[in-house]
Amino acid sequence: MDNTHFSFVMGSTKLGTFGLVWSPDEDIPKVNRIILSRPDISAGQVIVKQQYIGIISSSCAEMDEVVGQIAEAIDGKDIKFDLDIARLDLCPPFQQRVLSAEHQVPRGQITTYQRIAQHLEKPSAARAVGNALANNPFPIIIPCHRAIRSDLTLGGYQGGLEMKHILLEQEDIELDSKMHVINPEFYY
């Protein structure tokens, strides 16, 4: 992959580091991808060593602001992101629809992959919705941690299940000892 037109900036939170890959889009910087650290690998290792060889570390005022907002959101602050900062056009059309639907789920509420599929009038596409969210290039901006399985278990998350659990609890969503959501307030 040619990374000469991408830059990255790192951010840090109480849940670990994250990387923001960005590029100018018609002279307006936009987010291409957010990479969360996982328990087994840091975001910096993913960016620099695995996926974006040759990428340079740099930032600008707009991306510094986004990094700060992402850090605040991960640390529990209620931040609603504008989708205009994300390069959704890099995603396939179905994934764009899924990500846009997930972006609408407000803080303190959850949805399921099946509910999003029904909302999109694709009732048999729950698995495809799950795959689209599993490959969400904009976690936190698009709060895919608010999507769970129909059996009320967490499903997966780029930053790991412990991070998903903490993010949900910060939004006053209760989970039992087996990581099932208790008394869910559903959106969609």
Catalytic positions are: 144
CA distance from start to end of the chain: 38
Residue 59 one-letter amino acid? S
Residue 63 one-letter amino acid? M
In whole angstroms, give the CA distance from residue 147 to residue 159: 14
CA distances from 120 to 54, 111, 117 (A): 39, 13, 5
In whole angstroms, give the CA distance from residue 179 to residue 188: 22
The CA-CA-CA angle for residues 37, 44, 87, to 5°, reads 80
How many C-beta neighbours within 10 Å does residue 88 have?
A: 19
Report DSSP state, residue 106.
Answer: P
